[in-house]
Structure 1
Amino acid sequence: MAFEVEGKLYKKFDTQKVTDTFQKREFVIEMEDGMYPQIIKFQLTQNNCDKLDSFNEGDQIKVTFNLRGREYTKEGRTSYFTNLDAWRLDKVGAAEAAPGAPAQTEFPSANDEPAIQADMDDLPF
């Protein structure tokens, strides 16, 4: 199941090569949430790491991500990990109308008017 959030790109990090076959890149967005902004870290993995290259810190972005969790046991201690795995990033605001901007209305052309029929009465009563 995919989730989406919008926010300001707060921080982006370099790609980390975790193993010979796995790489990840983390980034943080800031979401407005009442009085206290939320600072949320996401990760891109493998071939998705370069998707962050076209964005700058401060850009408004929409992040599409999957919620991933796993259990890890080492030396008898169990830990639980949750990752927000981003797989799509879109810039917000560039192609969209600004909030509060009036919607543009398309007016019909003169040729779109209905033809007047001779037997129609002009009076509303």
Structure 2
Amino acid sequence: MSYELTGKIKLIQDPQTFNSGFTKREMVVTVDDGKYPQEINLEFVQDKVSLLETLQIGQEVTVSFDIRGREYNGRYYNNLVGWKIQSASSPEASEQEYFSSNAAPAPQPADFDDDIPF
């Protein structure tokens, strides 16, 4: 199951590589939630670490992520594992906003007849 959140990047950690070869990188996104903004920690693993390379602190982003859970020594832990990031200022987002707000009316057939009885 996947989820999305939109907010501003507060922090991008350095990548961590472990002896097993596993690599992860974390970032914190501040999400407005009424009176009390929430600071959400997301992690990116293996090949998804590279998604954070071009991002800047303060940048508005939408992050797609999965929730992962596990048990360790009788305690339960959750992780938000990101797999896609879209910048609010990306050309794709701007193009989608432009076309959805400036949509032309649907073309009418040239032989449209107002005398149809239904």
User: Which amino acid in structure 1 is aligned with residue 72 of structure 2?
Assistant: Y
Question: TM-score, normalized by length of structure 2?
Answer: 0.77
TM-aligned CA deviation for residue 17 of structure 1: 1.0
Unaligned runs of 5+ in 2: none
Percent sequence identity is: 30
Unaligned runs of 5+ in 1: 121-125
Alignment of 1:72-111 (within 5 A): 72-73=72-73, 78-94=74-90, 95-96=93-94, 103-104=101-102, 106=104
Quote the residue 1:123 is aligned against.
none
Q: How many residues align?
A: 109
TM-aligned CA deviation for residue 104 of structure 1: 2.8
Question: What is the CA deviation profile of residues 72-108 of structure 1, one whole-angstrom value per residue up to 9, with x for unaligned ones?
Answer: 12xxxx22111000011111144338x9xxx335479
User: Which amino acid in structure 2 is aligned with residue 60 of structure 1?
Assistant: E
User: Which amino acid in structure 2 is aligned with residue 21 of structure 1?
Assistant: G
Question: TM-score, normalized by length of structure 1?
Answer: 0.73
Bigger Rg over Cα: 1
TM-aligned CA deviation for residue 113 of structure 1: 9.5
